[in-house]
Each structure stands twice: as C-alpha cells, then as structure tokens.
Structure 1
Amino acid sequence: MEARHRTEPGRVMNAGSPSIVRVEAGHACYDVTIGADCLAGLGSVLRTTAPTAIRAHLVIDAGVPESLVNRVRSAFSESGLIGNESRLTPSEPIKSTPTWQRLLLDIAEASLERSDVIIALGGGIVGDLAGFAAASYRRGIPIIQCPTTLLAMVDASVGGKTGFNIETSHGLLKNMVGAFHQPAAVLADVDALASLDERVFRAGLAECVKHAMLSADYGDPDLADWMARSTTNILARNPATLTELVTRNVAVKAAVVRTDERERSSGDQGRALLNLGHTFAHAIETIDSLSPTNDPNLAPLMHGEAVSLGLIASATLAEQLGRASGMVEPLRNRLVKFGLPTAVRGLPESGEILARMAHDKKADTGRSRFVIPIGDGSSRVVLDPPVQAVVAAIESIRA
C-alpha cells in the first residue's frame, strides 16, 4: 500500500440543510451552499457578494424550469438590481468562441460594470461559458454559480475552471480555451434535481464515483461505501440524501483545489487527480456516433457517460501497470448500479483514440498524462505509460 498524503477537507461549516462548504482557492474564498430551496437565499447572497452592484446578468440554461428562473428574477427584484438575460441551449458544439462572443455582447449591451454581477443558472456547459465571460469581460467581474444538474453541483461549478472547446483539424478539443475565475458564491439547490432528466441525473453520478476514488486522501475515506449503502435513496432523489451526496463531493473537491488551485503540482497528486478518467473521456465524448446503449438516437455520449467509460479504462490501465489489482469488476458493478455505461459499441480503432489523446490539454511537457486509481480511495498521476498498456485500457471499454 502506498503512503497516503492526507489533507484537511473542504471545511463543512454547517452539516444540516442547507449545508455550507467553504472553498479556499488561492486568494479567493467562497461558500458553496447546498440544500433544498437554498436558491431562495440568492437575494441575500447578492447583497453580500456584490454590495455595490446595480445590474445583474442571468445566463440561463434553456432546459431549466421556468419556476427556477423566476426565483432568480425575484432575487434581482429583492436586491434592487436591474436584471438582463441570455439563454443558451447547451451542447458541446455551442461551447464555442461564437457563443462566448455572443454572451460578451449581451453583457456589454446591458452596460454591466466591474461592480456588477453575472449569475449562471444551469448545467456545466452554461456555467463554463458564463464563467469565462465573467473572467474576460472588463478583465473580470463577479459570477455566482447556481448549478441545476448533479454534475455541475459536484464538479463544474466549484474550483474556478471556465472556458470552451475549439474545433481543429484534429477534431473538437475539449476546454482548450479558458481561465481560472473563482465564483463569488455557489448555490446548489437540490430541488432542481427533482425534475432533471433521468439520463442527465445518472450522468452526474459518474463524477461522484470519481471523487470517491480519490477521497481517502482528501478527508472522506468512507465516501464510496456510503454511496453504495445509499444507492436506493440516491436514485430515488431523496432530498436529504442528495444534500449529503453533493456536500461530501464538494468537500472532497474543495480539499483538492485548496492544495493546488491551478493544477501546477509537479508530483503525482494535486488538482490533476480530478482528471481521473478524463483523458480517456475527452478522447471519446466528441465522437458523435457513440451511444451509451445500442440506440443511435442517444448519441453522442454525455460527459458523465464518457467519464464512466474513462474510469473503467483508467482502472484497467492501473492493473496493466501493476499499480492495482482486482479493481475493474467492483468498479464496473458500481457504475452499472447507477445506470452508467462501462463499454461502448462502435469505438474507433485504438490508433485514432491515441491520436486524440495526443492533443489533450492535460499533456505535460509533451508527455501524456493519466490519472489511475490505486485502491482504497486513492489515485495517482502517471506520465507516458507504455502504449500497449493504454491500448489495453482502450480495448477494455469496447463492447
């Protein structure tokens, strides 16, 4: 067993409902508030985080129920803010330069100043685009993230990564343009998950499984076992269970970010661990023909579905490298219980996948970088593993 580096978790300031996780990222400190109906507190958060704001710009995910949008509008009125809106229909292709430019134009037309504020209401794509607009408009204005999908709550809204994809001769490259721009606050209202599409909800669970595969080194060694015991309540979307699920996942991510905000650690840990499964995932999720089932109407893969496949590939790579044993099948069973894919039909030849990986933004000084699980809730970064081991990992997710 490798020695574990333990660090303090993201500080949970209130374990009830709502719960609050304090995120400390470099010079930025902010609260993530999690619970049922916590969006009702947005007015108070606006007054605290943007006390001199006159205008607020709301970036809306088109799939968000109008009832949630109206809560934000009410918060604007309550805070005496002049509200303006942009609405996006999220997909990987619209996570692009033209969409970012359109957002900037909308914000400029609304005459926002540096003391004003942007609110992102939606999933990870909307949060990433709105976050980068906030980072780049007038060289940075505040943003409050109000995630409405499980994936966005436990991952995308926390930690300050923002940006978009670019289309190149090598295909669509994920998140190649962006900036670190920490939010002023995050409000994760688990009531939003009640109406979430089943496939979208389950896709978010892949990021939760990922966090459980590194959580022992970041303050929560019991996360995987708790998720296994709580599977029924999680899938039933019990509000109290979801509040605990999101809180524990955010606390793990906050603990990682606190040690390495900008992913600059040169060791085998740090923020890069949050990329567990993602080197494989980013190489396959932009292949439009891939479906989580045999139904072509469900293509392409959602991000969480690609991460699920990437976790299997990463565990296989760990076994190929002799860093772990007996890990793949228990992981496969865990993912299947959450309704996530563990193999996919129609996967291109491994050479094409390797070529896509060569352009991954996580490459380090020209070397490929992977994160592998080593067991008991711990993971590590590996550089330039043997090609045959990576090919075996790719083949492990071919149906």
Structure 2
Amino acid sequence: MTGEAVDTVRVALGERGYDILIGPGLLERVGEEIAARLPKVRAAVVTDENVAARHLSTMTAGLENSGIAATPIVLAPGEKTKSFAALQEVVDKVLAARLERGDAVIALGGGVIGDLAGFAAGIIRRGMNFVQVPTSLLAQVDSSVGGKTGINTAHGKNLVGVFQQPRLVLADVNVLDTLPEREFRAGYAEVAKYGLIDRPDFFAFLEKNWRAVFSGGSERTYAIAESCRAKADVVARDEFETGDRALLNLGHTFGHALEAATAYDGSRLVHGEGVAVGMALAHRFSARMNLCSPDDAQRVEAHLAAVGLPWRISDIPGELPGAEGMLDYIAQDKKVKRGALTFILTRGIGQSFIARDVPASEVLAFLREQLEG
C-alpha cells in the first residue's frame, strides 16, 4: 500500500516518457511541478463549468505563484463538448492568447476535457506541450494516461483525434471527494477493467476492498496507482495500438456502440457505465463461445452489480436499436479493421486476449439474445 504519500508511476517512452503523480494535495502543487519540467512556460487551462466552479481558482493561484501566466478556457460540461465546434473554440482562444509552440495546454477536468484539450494541443502549431490534471476517477486511471485524444462525430465516438502524449499527469486523489457518486462508480469500471485484463489478483483485491476504495484513503490511492501502472506498462509496449494496447479496449467495443446508440446522452449512459455493460457482455459472449466458464461471467456481473454499476443492456433506460442496429454501431467502431470484427474476449478472470475475425453472425445472434431476452 502507498498510504497517503505521493506515488509516482513512470510511462517509459524514452525521451517522451513522463511521470504520473498520484496522491493528495497535488492540485496546489501543479505550478511548481510544471515549472520544474517546463521553465518559463505560459499556459491555457481548458476546463468545464462544473470543474471550474470547484477547482479553477486553486489551479490558477498555484500556477501564478510559480510564475506561470494562465488563460482559462471554460466550456460546457458533458460528452457533447467533444465536438468540432468546441475544438475550434479552444484552438481560437489558445491562438488569441498568443501562446507559442513551447507553451502548454493544461486539461483540468474529466475525460471529455482531457481528450478535447489534448487534441487541441496536438494540432495547434503542430504540437504544443500538454499537461493532464484529471479530476474524475475515470480520467485519473484511464483517459489521462497514454496519449489518446479526440472528439466524437455523428458516426461514432473518438473517430477523429491524434496521439499526443502529455508531459506530466497530476492525479490529486482529494478532488475525487467532490465527485457525484454516479460519476465515481462509472470511473471505477475502468479500475476493475485492469484486473480483468491481466491482473486477477488485483480484481480479487477489488472484490474484497471496493468499499474502502470508494470511501478514500490508502486503498483508493493504491487502486489508482495500480491502474496507472497497468496502463503505463501496456502503453510502453505498444504506444500506437498496433498490438497489445488493444487489450485496454476490454468492454469498449460493446460500450462505445451503446453510447452511440444513446446519442451520448449522459442522463441515460455515461462512458464508464457503457464500459461496465460492455465488460459484462464481453465475458458473457466469451462464455457463449466456450472460451471461458459461465462462472467467470457471473463473477464479473456480480461485482459490477455490487458496486451499483449497470451490467445488462436492460439496465440502460430508454429505447435502443435492435440487434441489427447495434451491429451497425459496432461495425463503425475504429477497432474494426477492413470490415473484420475485433473484440477483446477472455479465457477467464485476468485472461483477456485480442480476438480477430469474430463472425458477425455470432455477434448478431448474441445481441438478439441480450436484447430480446
């Protein structure tokens, strides 16, 4: 256990490697940590209205105390902000502030802000410095690490973007205390994902200690740091998702399709909830294909249900397309290659693997069972 000390996880990408700092009180130290790595830098702070109300003044005060002039860019909250219109707004305001290529774009917020701000940093002046200060659990353990950025389109989620590695990630565990319970639960789905990919002992730890992770303290810090280590290990092996990194998409092919089918309506389904349902479906589909035991699928479902996450398609409120419509969304996903369906399936808890050329007929039959059953 890491206790209440700050834990450092290194993402080993050679000259482009960077640190993830995890612990309490880091928001107040943002300025000194950035100044130590990027001296004489100026910055734009991209955030949303909800996060700005809670944390922007602390952030800007810390930056100014370290001699970093900051330009705040405050956007509307929600998944629909990951759009071309919001991207143009960020780009225009960064350029209007006359920030140079050696200056920084700082993302203060959850995954939406991190993805959008990172994309802007990647394309303004052909690449600016980028710093992640994630304020949601999901962002701290997943979207802030690894350099994936992007926006959504009518055709699907994250279909336009670039790889833009941050120079630094600062995950202040104290800011999670202000998260709505639903949002914390949604982020927890990504924590559980790392255990289900290839760390069965971590999944067992979560089954036993999830209440302590939710309440805070050393178990929470440990779970976040372990999740970041898991992702950092994969990113170091496969930065641009040509191989093993695809394992991080466990639950995401089904989950992204469900998000698209709900038109990214956060009142019905947020990203982590989509991942939770997607992970349960991936294990259930694996059992249907005789790859893993039905007991494994039931164990996953039981844990997701215990923490209050949705795990069945029927847990999603409102109308959804039929099986054929859902398959169309899956076929649009960027994990599809030359028309072949690729899923992350499993041979058991912590035994996920990349399954290529999954027959569409099998997926369609499975979706019919889930939607009509």
Determine if the TM-score, normalized by the shorter chain, exceeds 0.5.
yes
Structure 2 residue corresponding to 1:74, chosen from 37, 61, 73: 61
The residue correspondences of 1:203-214 to structure 2 (distance < 5 A) are 203-214=186-197
CA distance in 1, matches of 2:370, 2:25: 39
In structure 2, relative to structure 1, the CA distance for the partners of 1:20 and 1:396 (3 Å cut) is: farther
Using the size of structure 2 for normalisation, the TM-score is 0.93
CA RMSD in angstroms, aligned pairs only = 1.9
1:61/1:126 contact within 8 Å kept: yes
SS in 1 for 2:235: helix
Letter in 1 for 2:308: G
CA distance in 2, matches of 1:376, 1:51: 45
Q: Please say if 1:177 is aligned against 2:160.
A: yes
2:40/2:67 contact within 8 Å kept: no
SS in 1 for 2:102: coil
Structure 2 residue corresponding to 1:222, chosen from 175, 197, 201: 201
CA distance in 2, matches of 1:174, 1:148: 21
Using the size of structure 1 for normalisation, the TM-score is 0.87
Q: Once the 2 structures are TM-superposed, how far is the Cα of residue 40 of structure 1 from its aligned partner? A: 2.2
Q: Please say if 1:356 is aligned against 2:340.
A: no
Map of 2:222 onto structure 1: 244
Q: Please say if 1:276 is aligned against 2:244.
A: no
Q: Please say if 1:320 is aligned against 2:288.
A: yes
Structure 1 residue corresponding to 2:180, chosen from 189, 194, 197: 197
Structure 1 residue corresponding to 2:77, chosen from 68, 85, 90: 90
Structure 1 residue corresponding to 2:51, chosen from 64, 87, 90: 64
CA distance in 1, matches of 2:230, 2:16: 17
CA distance in 2, matches of 1:162, 1:69: 22
Q: Once the 2 structures are TM-superposed, how far is the Cα of residue 64 of structure 1 from its aligned partner? A: 1.4
In structure 2, relative to structure 1, the CA distance for the partners of 1:321 and 1:344 (3 Å cut) is: closer
Map of 1:370 onto structure 2: 343
Structure 2, unaligned runs of 5 or more: none
1:313/1:396 contact within 8 Å kept: no
SS in 2 for 1:51: coil
Map of 2:151 onto structure 1: 164
Map of 2:309 onto structure 1: 340
Structure 2 residue corresponding to 1:43, chosen from 23, 27, 31: 31
Q: Once the 2 structures are TM-superposed, how far is the Cα of residue 395 of structure 1 from its aligned partner? A: 4.4
Deviation track 1:95-123 (CA, whole Å, cap 9, x = no partner) reads 11111011000000100001111111000
SS in 1 for 2:106: strand
Letter in 2 for 1:333: A
1:36/1:239 contact within 8 Å kept: no
SS in 2 for 1:85: strand
1:159/1:182 contact within 8 Å kept: yes
1:320/1:389 contact within 8 Å kept: no
Map of 1:389 onto structure 2: 362
Q: Once the 2 structures are TM-superposed, how far is the Cα of residue 239 of structure 1 from its aligned partner? A: 2.6
Normalized per residue, the structure richer in helix is 2
Among all aligned residue pairs of Structure 1 and Structure 2, give the percentage whose two residues are the same amino acid.
Answer: 37
CA distance in 1, matches of 2:99, 2:369: 50
CA distance in 1, matches of 2:339, 2:368: 24
Q: Once the 2 structures are TM-superposed, how far is the Cα of residue 65 of structure 1 from its aligned partner? A: 5.7
Q: Once the 2 structures are TM-superposed, how far is the Cα of residue 26 of structure 1 from its aligned partner? A: 5.6
1:52/1:115 contact within 8 Å kept: no
In structure 2, relative to structure 1, the CA distance for the partners of 1:249 and 1:24 (3 Å cut) is: same
CA distance in 1, matches of 2:148, 2:248: 12
Structure 2 residue corresponding to 1:299, chosen from 261, 267, 285: 267
Deviation track 1:43-73 (CA, whole Å, cap 9, x = no partner) reads 22111221131x2110012221634212211
Letter in 1 for 2:281: A
CA distance in 2, matches of 1:193, 1:137: 30
Q: Kindly tell me the number of residue pairs found equivalent between the two proteins.
A: 367
